[in-house]
A and B are shown apart, each in its own frame.
Chain A
Amino acid sequence: MSLLFKNLFFSFVSVFSGLFSRVDESRERYFSWFNQFGLVLLLTVGVGLSWVAPPAGVWLWLTPLGGALLYGLIFGFTWIDPARAGSWAWWFSLVGLLLVGSASLGHPPGGATLVGGLLLDSLGLPYVFLTVTLLPLVILASLDSIRQNQVTYYFWVLFLGGVLVLCFCVEDFLVFYILFEILGFPMFLLIGQHGPRGQRVSAAYKFFVYTFGGSAFILPVLVYLHWGVGSTGVVDLRGYQFTEYEQALFFGLCALPFGVKIPVVPLHLWLPEAHVEAPTPISMLLAGLLLKTGGYAFLRFLIPLFPYGLYVWGPALTGVALFSVVFGSLYALVQVDIKRIIAYASVAHISLVLVGILTATPGGAAGATYLMLAHGYTSAGLFAGIGTLYDRYHTRTIRAYGGLAGVIPLGGVTFFILSLGNLSFPFTGGFTGEFIILAELGRSNLVVCFLAGGTVFLSLVYSMWLFNRLWWGDSSARVTGHTELTPPEVGVLFWCTGGCLLLGWGGSVFVDWTRECYAQLLYTSLGG
């Protein structure tokens, strides 16, 4: 089965790369023999790797971060034209995709490997895969929209990707926290320097204050573990007998910074601002990847290490998450800015993920992971779609649009499918994830299940309302010019749409893998 997945994966890459090579032909600044040669080389290496057992050494997983540093060195110490920064970054991200993507798919399901401080299992590797598949999209979406300080921009994007890969692999809680915090610094720069609007600095500052403020709660716990218990490795800590008091205290403290990152209401205030002020590709990165670190931390660290804390805080946190689901959905309904709608939809969806995680059942955890993956592709695609509109018409106010389907038909189709994914329509990834979570909730508490399920109805309302206002009806005076999607935009939107649909069809294989992993993890942690 894994071979099937690999072949599918590389077929996808080749189609996608072919799209990009068309860009080279149509635009001189992208065109170079390097791209053509690199494409052939990369596909050869990738296909070869998919048949040979992928290298499992720790260096492989450091490739994206090493690549980012190499990229910085190349552009820092050579005289390569900075206008080529995007093209180089694209190839660097593709190398990371092929190496790390194939290795994460090739990892045996159900088994956990501890190598050089990295814990490779079905819990973290789906997120690694998501990271390396979304990173090229972020770069591709940036090629047309980022015009200034390109070298630093692409360096930070690659750096973020490298850190995220490690973030989803590391075994040590302290190292995870360090990587988790590091994510904030490049984001701060990317929002503050490259945001298209006037409030970008205050949005970046708010992002920084919220994300770093949370560390006030987690750092004392880690210090206590490091200096008191003597280890911060999750394998060691799972064997340590924490008292009930310690577990409750530590779970409660650590839940706050991860709750900020998810984000749940009322810790969400940074997210709409950051999305609105960030350039579109950075919104893709933020919604598609960074928000996942919070949910992942609950699954990897908090629940297995402090299970009694879940018992103490679980009901209250579930209440907060349910409130966030309803609040986020209702708030999405009343927004006038397109990005804000997707931002609040993210709050609702990821809060539902938290509800699933807090069930502490293999099904709930597997559903939550699935929904996070689906949300990664769907939200990134929706943000990319918004970016295509903003690049053309320079506004994100809904009422300025209308009748886009006649102007950008291909964009309309992809946006429609992604909207279906956002409202969890059957045969999209969102449906599978939400269905599993709601089924698990229904087994224990129908009221909670009903409240959480409210998001399905509300997301239908705001997604279709948004789609209707943008794409159908009479054409607005602003959108009469016919400007179909450019090849990079086609690449980004098709990739995200494809991911959303593939997840809708291939759920059972994936869910079985992760469910087995979570069963092993949770049943050994939550005795009885």
Chain B
Amino acid sequence: MTPLELGLLGAGVLLFGAFQVSVQARWGATLGLALGGSFLTLGGGNLFLLRWWPTPGEAHSTGVVGFFPSGGSPEYVGGQAGWVYSGGDLKFILLFLFSLAGVGFLRHPARGVEPLLLGLVSVVAGLITFSVDNLILLYLGLELQALCLYTLVGFFKFQEERTDAALRYLLSGSLVSGFMLWGFARLYGGNGTFQAGEFLGWDSLGSAWVLGVILFKVGAAPFHFWAPVVYTPLEWGTLALTTGAAKVNLWYLLVGPLGGVVTSAWWPTWWAGLLSVGVGSIGGFFQTSLGGVLAYSGVINGGYLLLLSTAGVGGSFFYGYYLVVYLLSTALLVGLLSVWGDTRFETQFSAWGKLGVAFPLVVYYLTLNLGGLPVFPGFFAKLALLGGLGGFGFFLLWGVVAASVVPAVYYVAVGVGALFKPLGTEISPPGWPAPVVVATLVVGFNGVTTLVVGM
């Protein structure tokens, strides 16, 4: 555990565990931890979007439209995947999500500080997995993270839907925990060490089991079944953690310490990616809650990232850029929508117009951004994604773009609710200690420190 993680955990336990501390102080502590942590994580400020800005590739010389599997075959990857980037940006997003979730929890002080502590532990456990390549430590970190999330999902035990969701999450999560043990055991057996960096080869079967774990945890097909059920009844705080914080480190591991999994289980990864793109684009269309939409959004974006991971080192740059934009956009949308206590948008979305002109317009912007429409960052992320997938041939590219149109349509349905539907319920402005304010503060602070440090 690095000093940063230890410090975060210690400060959090002290601040949130202490009795007789006012809600305002806890709010300040949450924000302070997120700001301080993100500042340290990024090495004193770093506007990550600039780091991942795409550049044009080299000119092609064949004059052919492209052919499969040029640039994407296992031979091409040749074990070069992994250790592509440090993950500093992703750690920032983890802390950012913690701040969103924490402030979301603090909006209901009667529910106690336990959700806040559980959220902090899950985030610190996620941070730990960025720092290690020992399989045992990885297993412990991932399990600790997952246990906190199971508990958070089922924390409000009198809500039947959430109890049901927590039970499903726990049971299926336990099953994949077994997958992980089995996969790690095979990898250990083949190499005689737990250190992933010292592996001489990655056993195919063991890699496939580990891939199953990753697919489950990031909510990608065919192990996505739990996500809509679990996300739908959640309140915004827990939703921010399960949609984002539970996945960030997994995406890092896939191209970091566990990068050999993709090399060894290339075809399963590729097919899972393709399946996720299809399932995500179709499934999301039929959702009636924002939790469901976010779940299928996770499926399709997971599919894109899986496909990018199979593009090897050629796709790593695009992978990072796409991941950051997708995670940050989702987090900002969740932060913004958390003005409401419920994620069911059929009855709630129409009330947004009451908050003035800017609020629904920002929601509209974020939904267009998530849909990858020009000229928002999401569009450039999609360009980067397609650039990374260029090696798979023109027709796969076409299929991916076609599939990406459907989510854009259902994302915009959220915007339609915000912009046009008549007012259904009485609401009041969120007030300044709201997740949306925290989102602005954290991103703004990051930008300011970037400027200061940069100058």
Contact = CB atoms under 8 A, between A and B. Distances in A.
Interface string A347-388: 000000000000000000000000000000000000000000
A379 to B, nearest CB: 26
A201 B420 contact: yes
A205 B404 CA distance: 17
Contacts of A212: 373, 405, 408-409
Contact of A220 (B364, B373, B401, B409): B401
A208 to B, nearest CB: 6
Interface string A148-182: 01001000000000000000000000000110011
Given A182-B374, A223-B397, A228 B420 contact: no
Interface residues of A, number: 39
Given A177-B374, A185-B368, A220 B420 contact: no
Interface in B298-345: none
A204 B420 contact: yes
A342 B413 CA distance: 30
Contact of A178 (B58, B357, B375, B408): B375
Given A185-B373, A201-B420, A229-B60, A208 B412 contact: yes
Interface in A170-203: 177-178, 181-182, 185, 188-189, 192-193, 200-201
B64 A223 contact: no
A204 B404 CA distance: 20
Contact of A230 (B59, B373, B394, B412): B59
Interface string A381-412: 00000000000000000000000000000000
A249 B405 CA distance: 20
A19 B225 CA distance: 66
A241 interface: yes
B397 A220 contact: yes
Given A149-B357, A228-B60, A223 B383 contact: yes
Interface residues of B, number: 36
B386 interface: yes
B167 interface: no
A208 B64 CA distance: 34
B68 interface: no
A58 B200 CA distance: 58
A311 to B, nearest CB: 18
A182 B401 CA distance: 18
Interface string B370-398: 00011100010011001100100010011
B419 interface: yes
Given A208-B412, A212-B373, A224 B66 contact: yes
B63 A230 contact: no
Contacts of B405: 212-213, 215-216
A17 B21 CA distance: 67
A205 B408 CA distance: 12
A253 B387 CA distance: 18
Contact of A246 (B63, B404, B408): B63
Interface of B: 56-60, 63-66, 357, 364, 368, 373-375, 379, 382-383, 386-387, 390, 394, 397-398, 401-402, 404-405, 408-409, 412-413, 416, 419-421
Given A209-B409, A226-B383, 11 more contacts: A185-B373, A189-B364, A208-B412, A212-B373, A215-B405, A216-B405, A217-B398, A219-B386, A220-B398, A223-B383, A228-B57
17 contacts: A178-B375, A185-B373, A188-B412, A192-B419, A205-B412, A208-B409, A216-B401, A219-B382, A223-B387, A223-B397, A226-B387, A227-B386, A227-B387, A229-B59, A230-B59, A242-B63, A249-B65
